[in-house]
């Protein structure tokens, strides 16, 4: 089995180097340069950058790495990771204690998703340095995933030769996410009337009070087994002595069920508009789409590929319908069946983020087996 050719310490070194490169959303250029330099050492590998930066505002486009393979009859496949990291992510210093990576300071670690990128770097070493049989493999490194799947939405799909793929971008290990919800943003402005809070408060209409009543009327959190909603940002008011005229509200709704999503949007819009108007104010509400739902059938070739690797490795994977969105939602919507593999990261999007080398290695073993079996 070729997994015995994995070099965990080399994997660890790549991971640390990646984490210590600053790459907040729209500033992924340094990671892209690092990856260009890495892949350029292998003869025959093609490195392409699309023009998505013109649309996303990133300082780099998406990178598409093509490893030709030597089985032209086999179905070409891809792996995907994103290059951006949530804040606070500047000046990351990595600590490794007993094989577990954490941030030394008050930043995130960046294992989401640099753990996945490091895995693909080591996978490339294994494919290029050993006499293995494998199909054409593409590695798709996107920008702006954490701030709206921007790179995936702007990806030049004409550069993609693969027919299905695997996103290395989830918590846990030995799991395969086959379903994820659709999501829409909530963008609302509630308008009341400004007035001096001490001289003539009766002439005012407090937009913050209106907002409070609206939000109190809404079901938030887990609305049903397939739908969630959240109000995450509220901004309004100008001074303590002025009754606030306007409040800006941002949130989201997610659902696996398209009919439930429509009903929830209708309910939320009615709450904002009706409650505001009842008190003499007004509300403008929009629900821009974030990403579509995904659900990959168990008889899909991409799931069967995972199941074959599962059998070869004598493992039992958990196939999951999850609650988060990722680049995989976009790939599926564009006709590229994609599942998400857990890479072992935990406490993501927090300064307590961590990932174990043994879990990254375990996911790498799965990736090697997927490509070579």
Quote the crossing angle between the two packed helices 301-312 and 357-372, to the nearest 10°.
110
From the options 3.40.630.10, 3.20.20.140, 2.40.50.100, 3.40.640.10, give the CATH code of 2-180+293-372.
3.40.630.10
| Among 244, 242, 265, 245, CA closest to 253 | 265
pLDDT of the chain, 373 residues: tens digit per residue: 577 788 999 999 999 999 999 999 999 999 999 999 999 999 999 999 999 999 999 999 999 999 999 999 999 999 999 999 999 999 999 999 999 999 998 999 999 999 999 999 999 999 999 989 999 999 999 999 999 999 999 999 999 999 999 999 999 999 999 999 999 999 999 999 999 999 999 999 999 999 999 999 999 999 999 999 999 999 999 999 999 999 999 999 999 999 999 999 999 999 999 999 999 999 999 999 999 999 999 999 999 999 999 999 999 999 999 999 999 999 999 999 999 999 999 999 999 999 999 999 999 999 999 999 8
- CA nearest neighbour of 326 among 165, 218, 105, 174: 165
| pLDDT of the residue at 1 | 55
Question: What is the C-alpha separation between 224 and 222, in angstroms, rounded?
Answer: 6
pLDDT of residue 102: 98
Domain ranges of the chain: 2-180+293-372, 182-290
Residue with tokens 């659900």: 295
Largest distance between two CA atoms of the chain = 83
Residue spans of beta strands (DSSP E) within the chain: 46-49, 63-67, 77-82, 94-97, 100-103, 137-142, 164-168, 175-180, 182-191, 195-196, 221-224, 227-236, 242-243, 246-255, 282-286, 289-291, 294-295, 318-321, 338-341, 354-356
Cis peptide before 358 (omega within 30 of 0): no
Helices (DSSP H) in 28-159: which residue ranges?
29-39, 53-56, 111-129, 150-154
CA nearest to 165, candidates 45, 66, 303: 303
d(CA 279, CA 367): 58
* Class of the domain covering 182-290: alpha beta
Residues with a known catalytic role: 84, 145
């Amino acid at each position: 089995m070729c997994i015995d050719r994995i070099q965990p310490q080399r994997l660890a070194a790549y991971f640390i180097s990646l984490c210590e490169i600053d790459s907040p959303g729209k500033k992924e250029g340094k990671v892209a340069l690092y990856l260009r330099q890495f892949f350029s050492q292998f003869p025959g590998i093609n490195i392409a950058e699309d023009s998505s930066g013109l649309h996303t505002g990133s300082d780099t486009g998406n990178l598409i790495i093509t490893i030709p393979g030597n089985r032209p009859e086999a179905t070409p496949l891809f792996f995907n990771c994103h290059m951006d990291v949530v804040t606070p992510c500047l000046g990351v210093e990595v600590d490794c204690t007993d094989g577990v990576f954490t941030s030394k300071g008050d930043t995130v670690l960046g294992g989401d998703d640099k753990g996945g990128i490091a895995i693909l770097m080591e996978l490339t070493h294994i494919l290029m340095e050993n006499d293995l049989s494998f199909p054409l493999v593409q590695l798709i490194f996107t920008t702006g995933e954490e701030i709206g799947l921007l790179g995936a939405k702007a990806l030049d799909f004409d550069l993609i030769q693969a027919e299905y793929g695997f996103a290395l971008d989830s918590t846990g290990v030995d799991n395969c996410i086959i379903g994820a919800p659709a999501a829409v943003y909530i963008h609302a402005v509630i308008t009341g009337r400004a007035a001096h809070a001490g001289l003539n408060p009766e002439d005012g209409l407090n937009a913050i009070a209106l907002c409070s009543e609206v939000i109190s009327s809404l079901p938030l959190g887990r609305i049903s087994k397939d739908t969630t909603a959240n109000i995450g940002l509220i901004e309004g008011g100008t001074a303590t002595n002025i009754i606030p005229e306007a409040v800006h509200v941002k949130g989201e709704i997610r659902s696996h069920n398209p009919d439930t999503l429509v009903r929830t949007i209708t309910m939320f819009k009615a709450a904002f508009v009706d409650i505001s108007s009842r008190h003499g104010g007004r509300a403008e509400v929009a629900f821009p789409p974030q990403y579509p739902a995904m659900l990959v059938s168990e008889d899909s070739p991409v799931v069967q590929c995972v199941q074959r690797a599962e059998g070869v490795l004598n493992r039992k994977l958990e196939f999951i319908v999850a609650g988060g969105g990722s680049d995989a939602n976009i790939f599926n919507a564009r006709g590229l069946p994609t599942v998400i593999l857990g890479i072992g990261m935990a406490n993501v999007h927090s300064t307590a983020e961590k990932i174990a080398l043994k879990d990254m290695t375990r996911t790498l073993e799965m990736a090697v087996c997927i490509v070579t079996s």
